[in-house]
Amino acid sequence: MLSALREQEIAKLKELIRQEVSQEASGPGDESDSALLQEGIELHASLIDLSESRLTAIWAALDRLEENRYGICERCGDEIPFTRLRAMPMSVHCVDCQAKVEAARNWKPAGRDAALQDTAINVVWTDDFEPAPRARGRGRERSR
């Protein structure tokens, strides 16, 4: 089953790359054609990334199969149920451990750290920080 999935994913990846190359080769006409072309290229790039990720997971599952670790949860060491493996052949965790992994991935801290979690900037909090006084008016400071 894993070998068949690998072959399907390789074929899909080849087709996506072929489509992307043919899209890039067609020269854009006006601005709307150019925007549509760019959107198509970005969509194909996302689909290629997804396909490459699936292919990597399939190869990892095949490696686990060769090492006699296929079907064993990497977190708790219990057997992964056959029904789960049939539905998700690349699974590395049993259902319970997968739920814990996803819960940890989606966890957000409470308080002021929660507001910063989704930002791309790392901030170090200190207690001696004083915000700058706000200016009154529209864009200019008034003198008192």
Return d(Cα 66, Cα 59) in angstroms, integer. 11
Distances (CA, A) of 114 to 26, 109, 120, 129, 139: 45, 5, 13, 19, 31
Judgement on whether residues 4 and 63 belong to the same structural domain of the protein: yes
**Is 118 within a domain?**
no
Q: Which domain, by its residues, includes 44? A: 1-68
Judgement on whether residues 81 and 48 belong to the same structural domain of the protein: no
Judgement on whether residues 31 and 61 belong to the same structural domain of the protein: yes
Judgement on whether residues 5 and 55 belong to the same structural domain of the protein: yes
Judgement on whether residues 64 and 2 belong to the same structural domain of the protein: yes
Judgement on whether residues 26 and 42 belong to the same structural domain of the protein: yes
User: 10-residue block means of pLDDT along the chain (144 residues)?
Assistant: 86 84 68 76 84 90 93 94 92 93 80 50 41 45 43
Judgement on whether residues 64 and 77 belong to the same structural domain of the protein: no
Judgement on whether residues 90 and 64 belong to the same structural domain of the protein: no
**Is 116 within a domain?**
no
0.75 surpassed by pTM? no
Mind listing the pLDDT tens digit for each residue in 72-105?
Answer: 999 999 999 999 999 999 999 999 999 999 998 8
**Is 124 within a domain?**
no
Give me the pLDDT at residue 4, please: 86
Torsion of CA 43, 48, 49, 53, to 10 degrees: 140
